[in-house]
Amino acid sequence: MDVVLTGTGSPLPDADRAGPSTLVKAGDTHILVDAGRGVVMRMAGAGSLPPFLAAVLITHLHSDHVCALNDVITTHWVMSQGNATLPIYGPPGIARFVERQLHALEPDIGYRIEHHDVLTEGPKVAVAEVEPGDGFGVGDVTVTAAATEHAPVRPTLGFRLEHGGASAALVGDTIPCEGVDDLARDADVYVQSVIRRDLVEAIPHPMMQDILDYHSGVVDAARTAARVGARRLALTHMVPAPARDQYHDWVARAAEHYDGEIIIGDDLTTIAV
């Protein structure tokens, strides 16, 4: 299983980091987790495209994680010539969100149906609202969902994907909690959105101070990885985004609490598990 960090950015615009998303390639089964800014471009860079997707999993409805879902839906629709259905799983609320996306796309859908004889109807999606504890299969990948903690964003989910004896925990934006522990326990890779508390605390901006209470710090993520025996810790969605010459410092802080491999994500960093 390849875990490709297709977007390692955050809501803050960054020329080198797309918005949050991760692509899991388990053989021919491609699963996208979240759909942040630029995701379709990064999927192309990862050797995938929306019509290859067996499913999209959404962790929560914060805009940075879903703002390019409309691009995934439209590109899936057009490239599959309207023949394929895109399964989308997410927390309660995802069905209404997708329905509204489709409403927003109505002009485009109308133009393309009018212009292309091969397109006779709009995008086909199969949306499933997932509750914590639910498990389901996507192709030969087993997916388990658990509740995460990112209040006031509710509900939020993390996912564990298992295939061929390998496991990946993609937990999204969350503070340490029981759900993350369950998903990441003994995982081959645990991918965690992180902030640097020490650096964010020094930014004199009230909206930056607000993010301190609903994200894991680097040290939090390292402690979680150690506590649950994750084999690798991959840091993504980093705030503030580190420059390359700062990676060492980020890793060193995590390494004080965790002995396993620590990966700082760049867009298209690929972790083979």
Measured from the CB atom, the residue of 29 and 148 that comes closer to Zn ion is 148
198 is catalytic: no
| Residue found under tokens 């003994």 | 186
Measured from the CB atom, the residue of 64 and 182 that comes closer to Zn ion is 64
Which listed range, 44-52, 64-72, 105-113, 261-269, lies at the site for Zn ion (CB under 5 A)? 64-72
* Sole binder of Zn ion in the list 64, 149, 188, 267 (CB under 5 A): 64
Q: Which of 2, 14, 34, 64 is catalytic?
A: 64
Query: Distance (Å, rounded) from C-alpha 206 to C-alpha 127?
Result: 36
Q: Tell me if residue 59 falls in helix, strand or coil.
A: coil
Q: How far is CA 96 from CA 73, 80, 123, 259, in A?
A: 15, 24, 15, 43
Applying the rule CB under 5 A, the residues between 169 and 198 that interact with Zn ion are: 173
Residue 220 contacts Zn ion per CB under 5 A: no
Total chain residues near Zn ion (CB under 5 A): 3
Residue 160 contacts Zn ion per CB under 5 A: no
Structure tokens at 114: 């009018």
Residue 193 · residue 218 · CB < 8 Å:
no
Measured from the CB atom, the residue of 25 and 62 that comes closer to Zn ion is 62
Measured from the CB atom, the residue of 173 and 188 that comes closer to Zn ion is 173
Residue 174 · residue 156 · CB < 8 Å:
yes
* Nearest of 236, 242, 240 to residue 267 by alpha carbon: 236
Q: Which residues bind Zn ion (CB under 5 A)?
A: 62, 64, 173
Residues designated as active site: 64
